[in-house]
Amino acid sequence: MELLDQILPLVQKPARYTGGEWNAIRKDWDKVELKVAFAFPDVYEVGMSHLGMQILYFIVNSRADTLMERVFAPWPDMEEKMRECNLPLFALESRRPVRDFDVVAFTLQYEMSYSNVLNMLDLAGIPLKTSLRSKEHPLVIAGGPCAFNPEPLADFIDLFIIGEGEEAIGDFLDIFRDGRRRNLDKKDFLLEAARLPGFYVPSLYRVEYGKDGGILKVGPVCEGIPEKITKRVVRDLDKTPFPTCPVVPSTEIVHDRIMLEVLRGCTRGCRFCQAGMIYRPVREKKPGTVLRQAAELVRHTGYDEISLTSLSTADYTPVRSVIAALIEEHAGRGVGVSLPSLRVDSFSVELAKEVQKVRRSSLTFAPEAGTQRLRDVINKGVTEEDLMAAVGAAFQEGWQAIKLYFMIGLPTETVEDLDGIVHLAREVLARGRKAGVPRGRLRVTVSVSSFVPKAHTPFQWEPQELLAALKEKQAYLAGRLRDRGLVFNYHDTGVSFMEAVFARGDRRLGAVLEKAFQLGCKFDGWSEYFHLDRWLESFRQAGLDPEWYAYRRYNYDDILPWDHISAGVSKRYLVLEHRRALSGITTDDCRTGSCPGCGLCPVLGVKPDYAGGDYNAPLPDTVQ
């Protein structure tokens, strides 16, 4: 009997490791030239909820010369059995060891999955460091939002793809195949790859440090390698491949529904938000494309829910007519529509009302900050009136539970802003009572996370607030959010601290990651597995100070660890936005017609693409 079948009865949720799901693609191993393992550094239920994986799986498996299989981080109970039985990390489709593949491609969705990247390489029997691997080993590549500051993983990843993967994966596979045919060794292949747009080979860049620990200089080690790596971007969302035969898991996953992307990018310009900066410009799918893809997805998956995904679906120009058309076409067969997130306004509540026949779940709004002053600082274009109108409409329509998301530790925050959170929560509660929601049913959940400054945002120069101060603020709020019907949730400050370190970290942190892996760090995004003490010990052993990274305030003329990676948005724009933030001046969404001058369109040769057809010519980078 196969070794795996001996182990599976002993672990939780064995369906995570079996493969064989509907629409999974198992190609003939011997008839395909290139084998790629797509590695998601978290557990199956999380990884399978990731649309990017489904997109790349579809594109790569559509090529005759290539196959892509999936691999996820085994849950610790499975890892223990695998190590006990010497079963190396394997891919789900062929059950072959990951080390037999030509390429292992990680997606980096959040910093706290880095320990899992190392742990998975180790479980696969692949040397962790790029310097210890030759062409006998798989090439280890990575992409995703965290690749916009790839430096902490520079020791481990051979090649990063910056920007939108579907745009670059074809080029990568072509040159990799050609390199194979010419029998190039790894070093020569990487030299060639580094010349392509959006391809970053960290080993071909040297970083020099100054006496204060800051960066003096970053540059390529030889000629012909670009100084700056600019992200890849899809130009036309209607023409880019989108899978309408996604893998349908046989076990329940986090987002267990059709995920249909209707637009990419968000230009609201919230100053803390990395996604809003790195996924520019806004590109909307035409309604016809959305409806056609929805019909195919329903037929090919059997799901009973279509989630219209994006960073802000209420902003999708034809959202109302598309929802109406989807309901008309699919509701009769018991297939519903859902929206993953709502804007803080009554329009969003109307949309939610249209899609939700039964008020089963709560509605979530994210005012992010407690006072108008601070919301202006972060450019969250939401007023207290907006919020009250939204929750008023929600209670009126029969919802009885509201969730509110806030952040603490934002730049310039004072105790008044914390009081503002308490005030808003109580106001929402009062609105619910006034609307006649029964006391026992009325629930307002206040969820508070700690601000983490991220690369490529206007707040990239800002320090994170001290861990002790964040804890005090949490306690302050906990002491006040006690009214009947209020529920207060907050995030582990230790996790946010580590997230801040790696979000703005440099490549010296590779040593810390390696120590942390050796000390058993894994699944750090899961509170039951996060151990701050192990991380602090790793820093001690590596001789580095985590506070220096998390609490450092950078100057505008400092060289930032990720300055050689370009998201297309100009640094001058980020500086301007940072200054406007500190002065409490808001900036318009470029949808409104006034171009904020982020500089992206002229640099990338792109323009916003609205499904409604109207579009305002972006200005060249006019920021002075």
Contact between residue 210 and residue 553 where contact means Cβ atoms under 8 Å apart? no
Unique residue bearing structure tokens 């072509």: 174
CA–CA dist 497, 503 (Å, integer): 10
Give the integer Cα–Cα distance in Å for 220 and 222. Answer: 6
Say how far apart CA 378 and CA 395 lie, in whole Å: 28
Secondary structure of 5-16 in the HEC alphabet? HHHHHHCCCHHH
Sheet with strand 103-107: strands edge to edge: 66-72, 34-40, 103-107, 139-143, 159-161, 199-200
Tell the smallest beta-carbon distance from residue 7 to other proteins (Å).
Answer: 9
Backbone angles phi, psi at 300, to 5 degrees: -90, -15
Name the residue nearer to other proteins (CB basis): 251 or 396. 251
Nearer CB in complex with other proteins: 299/434: 299
Mark 272-301 with x for binding to other proteins (rule: CB under 8 A) and - for no binding: --------------------------xxxx
Q: How far is the CB of 252 from other proteins (least distance, A)?
A: 6
C-beta of 211 vs 333, nearer to other proteins: 333
Residue from 171, 238, 304, 305 touching other proteins (CB under 8 A): that is 304
Measured distance CA(184)–CA(186) in Å, rounded? 6
Q: How far is the CB of 330 from other proteins (least distance, A)?
A: 11
Q: Does 28 bind other proteins (CB under 8 A)?
A: no
- Let me know: does 130 contact 140? Beta carbons within 8 Å: yes
Q: CB under 8 A: which stretch of 7-15, 305-313, 373-381, 566-574 binds other proteins?
A: 7-15
- Residue (22 or 556) nearer to other proteins, CB: 22
Question: Which range touches other proteins (CB under 8 A), out of 53-61, 191-199, 331-339, 517-525?
Answer: 331-339
Minimum CB distance to other proteins, residue 2 (Å)? 10
Q: Report, in Å, the least distance between residue 159 CB and other proteins.
A: 33
CB nearer to other proteins: pick between 12 and 624:
12
Strand pairing of 305-309 and 283-284?
A: unpaired
- Binding segment toward other proteins, per CB under 8 A, in 12-20, 62-70, 201-209, 275-283: 12-20
Residues, the chain? 624
Q: Quick one: 1 or 222, whose CB is closer to other proteins?
A: 1
Is residue 24 involved in binding other proteins (CB under 8 A)?
A: yes
Contact predicate 118/128, CB 8 Å: yes
Q: Is 9 in the site for other proteins (CB under 8 A)?
A: yes
Binding mask 358-397 for other proteins (x = CB under 8 A): x-x-------------------------------------
Task: Tell whether residue 329 is a contact of other proteins (CB under 8 A).
Answer: no
Nearest distance from residue 15's CB to other proteins, in Å?
5
Question: Count of H helices and E strands in the chain?
Answer: 21, 19
Query: Under a CB-based contact definition with an 8 Å cutoff, are residues 423 and 378 in contact?
Result: no
Closest CA to 281 of 315, 306, 308: 315
If one asks whether residue 6 binds other proteins (CB under 8 A), the answer comes out as yes
Q: Which is nearer to other proteins, 142 or 258 (CB)?
A: 258
Q: Which of residues 537-596 bind other proteins (CB under 8 A)?
A: none
Contact 502, 148 (CB under 8 A): no
How far apart CA 3 and CA 580 sit, in angstroms, is 61
The minimum distance between CB 20 and other proteins, in angstroms, equals 3
> Is 239 an interacting residue with respect to other proteins (CB under 8 A)?
no
For residues 118 and 128, give the distance between their C-alpha atoms in angstroms, rounded to a whole number.
6
- Integer-rounded Cα Rg, in Å, for the chain is 24
Number of residues that bind other proteins (CB under 8 A): 31
Task: Compare residues 44 and 490 and give the one whose CB is closer to other proteins.
Answer: 44
Which of 20, 398, 520, 612 binds other proteins (CB under 8 A)? It is 20
Q: Minimum Å distance from CB 335 to other proteins?
A: 8
Tokens of 576: 């301007």
In this structure, are residues 349 and 390 in contact, taking their beta carbons and an 8 Å threshold?
yes
Q: Quote the least distance from Cβ 391 to other proteins, whole Å.
A: 23
Taking CA atoms, 582 is separated from 238, 252, 586, in Å, by 39, 45, 10
For residue 290, what are its two tokens?
A: 């959305």
5 lies in the binding site for other proteins (CB under 8 A): yes
Alpha helices by DSSP H, listed for 63-208, are 76-84, 114-123, 165-181, 186-193
We find the least distance from the C-beta atom of residue 304 to other proteins, in angstroms, to be 7
* 302 sits near other proteins (criterion: CB under 8 A): yes
Nearer to other proteins, 10 or 132 (CB): 10
Q: What is the DSSP string of 544-566?
A: --HHHHHSPPPPTTSBPTTTTEE
Identity of the residue, 163 or 249, whose beta carbon is nearer to other proteins in the bound complex: 249
**What are 116's two structure tokens?**
């899992």
List the interface residues with other proteins, window 246-265 (CB under 8 A): 248, 250-252
The residues that touch other proteins, with contacts defined as CB under 8 A, are 1, 5-6, 8-9, 13-15, 17-22, 24, 248, 250-252, 298-304, 333-335, 358, 360
